Chains A and B, each alone.
Chain A
Amino acid sequence: MATRVLDQHDVRAVGHGEKTGLWSWITTVDHKRIGILYGTTAFIFFLLGGIEALLIRIQLGSPENTFLSAERYNELFTMHGTTMIFLAIMPLSAMFFNFMIPLQIGARDVAFPRLNAFSYWVFLAGGLFLNSSWLFGLAPDTGWFGYANLTSTQYSPGLNVDFWMIGLQVLGIASLAAAVNFFVTIVNLRAPGMKLMRMPMFVWMSFITQVLLLLAFPVITVALFLLMFDRFFGTHFFVPSGGGDPILWQHLFWIFGHPEVYILILPAFGIISEVLPVFSRKPLFGYAAMVFSGVFIAFLGFGVWAHHMFATGMGPIADAFFALSTMLIAIPTGVKIFNWMGTMWGGSLQFRTPMYFAIGFIAMFIIGGLSGVMHASPPADLQQTDTYFVVAHFHYVLFGGSIFGLTAGAYYWWPKMFGRMLNESLGKVHFWLMLIGFNLTFFPMHFLGLNGMPRRTYTYPKGLGFETLNQIETAGSFLLAVAFLVFLVNVFQSWRKPRNAPADPWNGATLEWSIPSPPQEFNFAEIPVVHGRDAFWEMKRERRGPLPEPARVSGRGIHMPNPSYWPVVAAIGVLAVLLSLMFLPHFGPLGVVVAAGVLFLGVFKWAFEPAG
Chain B
Amino acid sequence: MPLRTTAWRSSRLVAALCLLTLVLAGCSPEHYPQTTLLPRGDFARIADDLLDTTVKWAVLVFVLVEGALVYSIFRFRGKPGDSEPHQTHGNTTVEIIWTVIPALILAAIAVPTVQAIFLTNATPKADALRIEVVGHQWWWEFRYPEYNLTTANEIHVPMGRTVSLHMGSADVIHSFWLPQFAAKRDVFANRETRLWFKAEVVGEYPGQCAEFCGIQHARMGYRIRAQKPEEFQAWVAHMQTLAPKPPPAAKPAPVPKPAAGARSDQEVRTASAGATVQPVAGQGPDYATGEKLFQAKGCVACHALYAVNAPKGMIGPNLANVGARSYIAAGTLKNTDENMARWIQNPQVIKKGVLMPNLGVTEPEARALVAFLRAHQ
Contacts and interface: CB of A to CB of B under 8 A. Distances in A.
B27 A379 contact: no
A524 interface: no
B36 A452 contact: yes
B173 A147 contact: yes
Contact of A382 (B31, B47, B194): B47
Greatest chain B CB density within 10 A among A313, A362, A366, A469 is at A313
A351 interface: yes
Interface residues of B, number: 104
Contact of B95 (A328, A339, A345, A349): A339
Interface stretch (A217-225, A455-463, A561-569): A455-463
B263 interface: yes
A54 to B, nearest CB: 19
A8 interface: no
Contact of B78 (A348, A362, A367, A439): A348
Nearest to B352: A70
Interface in B248-276: 261, 263-265
Nearest to B194: A313
Given A366-B62, A457-B218, A347 B113 contact: no
B32 A452 contact: yes
A332 B65 CA distance: 15
A435 B37 contact: no
A7 B245 CA distance: 104
Interface stretch (A197-205, A241-249, A414-422): A241-249
A379 B76 contact: no
Given A149-B173, A348-B84, A452-B35, A283 B89 contact: yes
A323 B110 contact: yes
Interface string A347-383: 1111100000001001100110011011011111011
B34 A341 contact: no
B175 A245 contact: no
A315 B193 CA distance: 10
Interface string A142-167: 11000101100011010000000000
A188 interface: no
Contact of B209 (A241, A428, A435, A454): A454
B3 A287 contact: no
Given A347-B78, A348-B84, A377-B54, A316 B62 contact: no
Contacts of B16: 436
Nearest to B46: A379
Nearest to B97: A338
B180 to A, nearest CB: 9
Interface stretch (B181-189, B311-319, B356-364): B181-189
B340 to A, nearest CB: 17
Contact of B90 (A286, A319, A347, A450): A286
Contacts of B186: 311-313
B320 to A, nearest CB: 25
A320 B177 CA distance: 21
A374 B55 contact: yes
B172 A316 contact: no
Contacts of A383: 36, 44, 47-48, 51, 179, 183-184
B214 A150 contact: yes
B210 interface: yes
Contact of A345 (B35, B72, B183): B72
B106 interface: yes
A373 B173 contact: no
Contacts of B51: 374, 377, 380, 383, 450
Contacts of A348: 76, 78-79, 82, 84-85
Contacts of A286: 89-91, 95
Interface string B11-48: 00100110010001001010111111100000010111
Contacts of A323: 110, 113-114, 117
B241 interface: no
B94 interface: yes
Contacts of B342: none
Contacts of B171: 149, 155
4 shortest interchain CB distances as A-B pairs: A452-B34, A382-B183, A457-B218, A348-B78
Given A150-B214, A347-B76, 9 more contacts: A70-B353, A246-B172, A287-B90, A313-B185, A341-B72, A346-B85, A377-B51, A379-B183, A456-B217
Interface of A: 69-71, 74, 141-143, 147, 149-150, 154-155, 157, 240-241, 244-247, 280-289, 311-313, 315-316, 319-320, 323-324, 327-328, 330-331, 334-335, 337-339, 341-342, 344-351, 359, 362-363, 366-367, 370-371, 373-374, 376-380, 382-387, 428, 432, 435-436, 439, 443-444, 447, 450-461, 463-466, 468-469
27 contacts: A70-B353, A142-B212, A150-B212, A155-B172, A240-B189, A244-B190, A245-B190, A246-B173, A246-B188, A285-B88, A287-B90, A289-B95, A313-B194, A327-B109, A331-B103, A342-B94, A374-B55, A379-B46, A379-B117, A382-B47, A382-B183, A383-B51, A443-B20, A447-B27, A451-B36, A451-B37, A465-B34
